[in-house]
RNA sequence: GGAGAGAUGGCUGAGCGGUUGAAAGCACCGGUCUUGAAAACCGGCGUGGGGGCAACUCCAUCCUGGGUUCGAAUCCCAGUCUCUCCGCCA
């Protein structure tokens, strides 16, 4: 959420910055609504003052007049509220402004590779896709999921289910023990207000699974990522500086409609309506955002290092970043069956963009109350890590070697074989 | 699900129709004292918004939304949440 005061004070630089996002924005309308809103506020407040003075005077002869003023106030309030709602609707649908470090570009073609890591394995046979491997092992069942639930779901069974569980524990342990994150097991359902805080609402309502609630005007949603619920733990709060940075990690299912991606990645587990993800969230002092982003991204890549999976790190360009982000690193893991890198983690700094929406603040060193900085990153997406392990560790006979680091989490089995 | 109690500033907590934006304490900040610290004493200290270059000023805000009244933290109605007790249940 942007500060209308800042926009008003420097319309030109705001317009220039937001252009980097390649969105349509009617700045004239914003300015007009803002002016109207303030005009009505002034009118309303001068009437309120008048009314207050009458009431203070306790002069009975003026009481009748006061009643009339009340009616007038009500009329103007309605107009003011209308302008304010319209203005807020527009403001709350404008994405965050990209940081200066961020390359300018319209879509993923302008993303920039920063580094590559790990050895890409040579296969002396044709590497299979994860879904072929999984189906042959009888440990991934997409048809069964279609029968019970619908498309874009999967049954993970047997040793692959164990692998999935092991990954969750391994990642959590690493972030808790080595990276200073505090484990949280959060609710998987969030209120509309919470969804607004991190930027899922109002603009991305179509991507969310909403629960059907009887007899209640309240709206509730399945979380699309633990970022939503973890970041909002500080909403409507003034945090003590000594408690910053706050680092939280959770392993949760995530639910996404994937609207607008029909026909994309329909085969296999790449794009599902439900998947597990280990999510890191940091709440920091504003000026620490970029340092924390580097740190968080390292926490994510460390997992891939330990799993010995090849990956690359890229920085997203201005047009490809998520709504709330000012700067984002994506980590992409190598998938032999596709001979390309696929996203497995996304780490973003949201500056104070979400904090403003959530009203999450802290007292800085000058004892001023200011908005915190928020960051989130996957560490990592479990489903996609499962895929990457299957494909990169596959053998010619269709079995899958268990990475060393995971064996203690998997009853010390070394290989996943067909039963 | 049933029955009660409650929701006030960063925290604790008074107020229960008319300078109450709100006592008091704690915390915090500044100062005096002290070699330094503590203690003691003095002063300051909520949030959001509007106007103004500024000094400053105005409005809102005592869970949320309605209502009564010239006037509401205080009265009425609805809702949300929290706590206690009972019931049911993983």
The yes/no answer on whether domain A108-416 falls in CATH 3.30.930.10 is: yes
- Is pLDDT at A215 greater than 70 in this prediction? no
Question: What is the torsion angle, in degrees rounded to the nearest 10, for the CA atoms of residue A269, residue A273, residue A277 and residue A280?
Answer: 140
CATH tag, A4-91: 1.10.287.40
User: pLDDT grade, residue A153 (50/70/90)?
Assistant: very high
Contact residues for A332 (Cβ-Cβ < 8 A; gap 6+): A311, A312, A313, A314, A341, A342, A343, A344
Q: The whole model's pTM is what? A: 0.93
Give the CA-to-C1' distance from A188 to B87 in angstroms. Answer: 28
Q: Is the CB of A298 under 7 A from strand B?
A: no
Q: Is the CB of A257 under 7 A from strand B?
A: no
Query: What tokens does A219 get?
Result: 């709206």
In the complex, which nucleotide's C1' lies nearest to the CA atom of residue A5? B49
User: Mean of the pLDDT values across residues A60-72?
Assistant: 86
Task: Please provide residue A101's backbone torsions phi and psi, each rounded to the nearest 5 degrees.
Answer: -70, -20
Q: Where are the domains of chain A?
A: 4-91, 108-416
Q: Is the CB of A54 under 7 A from strand B?
A: yes
Place of tokens 């069974």: A157
Q: Is the CB of A78 under 7 A from strand B?
A: no
Q: Is the CB of A35 under 7 A from strand B?
A: no
CB atoms closer than 10 angstroms to residue A86: 16
In the complex, which nucleotide's C1' lies nearest to the CA atom of residue A66? B70
Tell me whether domains A4-91 and A108-416 share a fold. no
- Is pLDDT at A316 greater than 80 in this prediction? yes
User: Mean of the pLDDT values across residues A58-84?
Assistant: 88
Q: Give the pLDDT confidence of A78-96 residue by residue, as tens digits.
A: 899 999 999 999 999 999 9
In the complex, which nucleotide's C1' lies nearest to the CA atom of residue A58? B70
- Rounded to an integer, what distance in angstroms lies between the CA atom of residue A289 and that of residue A292? 5
Q: Around A298, how many Cα atoms within 13 Å sit in the side-chain half-sphere?
A: 9
ipTM: 0.85
CB atoms closer than 10 angstroms to residue A399: 17
According to DSSP, the β-strands at A189-191 and A415-416 are: unpaired
In the sheet where A369-371 sits, what is the strand order? A237-239, A360-363, A369-371
Instruction: List bases in chain B with any atom under 7 Å of a protein Cβ.
Output: 10, 18, 28-29, 46-51, 58-60, 70-71, 80
Please confirm whether the linkage preceding A52 is cis (ω < 30° from 0).
no
Residue nearest to nucleotide B70 (CA to C1'): A63
Query: What tokens does A356 get?
Result: 């403003």
pLDDT in the model for residue A237: 83
Q: Is the CB of A192 under 7 A from strand B?
A: no
CB distance A307 to A406 below 8 Å: yes
Q: Is the CB of A33 under 7 A from strand B?
A: no
User: pLDDT grade, residue A236 (50/70/90)?
Assistant: confident
């Amino acid at each position: 959420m942007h500060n209308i005061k800042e926009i008003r004070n420097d319309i030109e630089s705001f317009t220039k910055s937001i252009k980097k996002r390649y969105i349509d924005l009617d700045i004239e309308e914003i300015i007009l609504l803002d002016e109207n809103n303030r005009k009505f506020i002034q009118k309303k407040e001068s009437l309120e003052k008048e009314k207050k003075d009458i009431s203070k005077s306790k002069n009975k002869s003026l009481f009748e007049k006061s009643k009339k003023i009340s009616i007038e106030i009500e009329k103007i309030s309605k107009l003011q509220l209308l302008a304010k709602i319209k203005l807020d609707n527009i403001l709350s649908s404008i994405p965050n402004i990209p940081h200066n470090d961020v390359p300018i570009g319209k879509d993923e073609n302008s993303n920039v590779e920063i580094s590559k890591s790990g050895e890409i394995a040579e296969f002396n046979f044709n590497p299979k896709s994860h879904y072929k491997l999984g189906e042959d092992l009888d440990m991934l069942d997409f048809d069964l999921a279609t029968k019970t639930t619908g498309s874009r779901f999967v049954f993970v069974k047997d040793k692959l289910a164990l692998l999935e569980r092991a990954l969750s524990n391994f990642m959590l342990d690493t972030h808790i023990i080595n990276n200073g994150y505090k484990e949280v097991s959060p609710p998987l359902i969030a209120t509309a207000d919470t969804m607004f805080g991190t930027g899922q609402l109002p603009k991305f309502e179509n991507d969310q699974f909403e629960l059907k609630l009887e007899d209640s005007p309240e709206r509730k949603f399945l979380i699309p990522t633990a970022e939503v619920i973890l970041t909002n733990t500080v909403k409507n709060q003034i945090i003590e500086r000594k408690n910053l940075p706050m680092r939280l990690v959770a392993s949760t299912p995530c639910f996404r409609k994937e609207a607008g991606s029909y026909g994309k990645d329909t085969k296999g587990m790449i794009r599902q309506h439900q998947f597990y993800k280990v999510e890191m969230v940091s709440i920091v002092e504003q000026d620490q955002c970029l340092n924390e982003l580097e740190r968080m991204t390292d926490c994510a890549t460390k997992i891939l290092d330990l799993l010995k999976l090849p990956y690359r790190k890229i920085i997203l360009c201005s047009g490809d970043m998520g709504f709330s982000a000012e700067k984002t690193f994506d980590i992409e893991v190598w998938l032999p069956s596709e001979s390309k890198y696929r996203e497995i983690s996304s780490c973003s700094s949201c500056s104070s963009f979400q904090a403003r929406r959530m009203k999450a603040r802290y007292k800085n060193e000058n004892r001023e109350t200011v908005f915190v900085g928020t960051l989130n990153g996957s560490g990592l997406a479990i489903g996609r890590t499962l895929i990457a392990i299957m494909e990169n560790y596959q053998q010619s006979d269709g079995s899958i070697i268990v990475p060393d680091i995971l064996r203690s989490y998997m009853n010390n089995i070394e290989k996943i074989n067909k039963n």
